[in-house]
């Protein structure tokens, strides 16, 4: 017994075979963000009242710079996955959907690259 409608069979529409991978990626990045967010919040709280030089020295530590870059990459990738789902569900029209998806992904990946570059530049100053 086939579960697809006649129209679905004619158009060749069916499972794209990507939903499970997308779902897992979203969950894994969400789980990864939990310890990274805790580390980030605790670190920022511990630096309350610090001078600019102390911030630069803190980000100059290899482990802090690495965790900051990892946090930015995971955060923006997770945001990209989430925004993709929202756009696919709520933007009507194939052309508009593709244009919005491309724009959002470009913006998020540009922001991620900017964060990585900023961390590297500040870390190299210390």
Cα gap 120→98, rounded to integer Å: 33
Residue 14 has pLDDT above 60, yes or no: no
39 within 8 A of 105, measured Cβ to Cβ: no
Q: Do residues 87 and 39 lie in contact, with contact meaning Cβ atoms separated by under 8 Å?
A: no
Binned at pLDDT 50, 70 and 90, residue 17 comes out as low
| Spatial separation of the C-alpha atoms in residues 113 and 119, rounded to whole Å | 10
pLDDT band at 33 (very low <50, low <70, confident <90, very high): very high
Report if residue 112 sits inside a domain. Answer: yes
Say yes or no to pLDDT of 116 above 60.
Answer: yes
Q: Mean pLDDT for the chain?
A: 91
Would residue 9 count as lying in a domain? no
- Domain-located, residue 76: yes
Q: Is the pLDDT of residue 24 over 70?
A: yes
Domain assignment present for 98: yes
H/E element, 126: none
With contact defined as beta carbons under 8 Å apart, do 44 and 107 qualify? no
Q: Which CA distances in Å does 65 have to 54, 56, 61, 72, 114? A: 14, 10, 6, 11, 14
**Range 62-75 average pLDDT:** 98
pLDDT computed for residue 1 by the predictor:
56
Retrieve residue 103's tokens: 């724009």
Helix runs in 16-93, H state only: 19-46, 52-59, 62-90
* Residue 88: closest CA among 102, 74, 69, 70: 102
Q: Which residue has the higher pLDDT, 46 or 19?
A: 46
Q: What is the pLDDT of residue 6?
A: 64
CATH code for the domain of 28:
1.20.1300.10
8 — pLDDT class (breaks 50, 70, 90): low
Model pTM score: 0.83
Residue count of the chain: 126
Percent of the chain with pLDDT over 90: 81
Residue 25 lies in a domain: yes
Q: Which domain holds residue 28?
A: 20-125
Provide the number of structural domains found in the chain: 1
């Amino acid at each position: 017994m086939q579960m697809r409608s006649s129209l679905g069979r004619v158009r060749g529409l069916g499972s794209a075979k990507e939903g499970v991978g997308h779902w897992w990626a979203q969950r894994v990045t969400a789980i990864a963000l939990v310890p990274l967010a805790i580390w980030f919040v605790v670190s920022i709280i511990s630096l309350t009242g610090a001078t600019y030089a102390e911030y630069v020295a803190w980000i100059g530590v290899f482990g802090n710079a690495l965790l900051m870059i990892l946090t930015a990459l995971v955060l923006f990738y997770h945001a990209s996955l989430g925004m993709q789902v929202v756009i696919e569900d709520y933007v009507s029209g194939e052309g508009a959907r593709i244009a919005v998806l491309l724009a959002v992904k470009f913006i998020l990946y540009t922001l991620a690259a900017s964060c990585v570059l900023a961390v590297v530049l500040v870390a190299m100053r210390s």
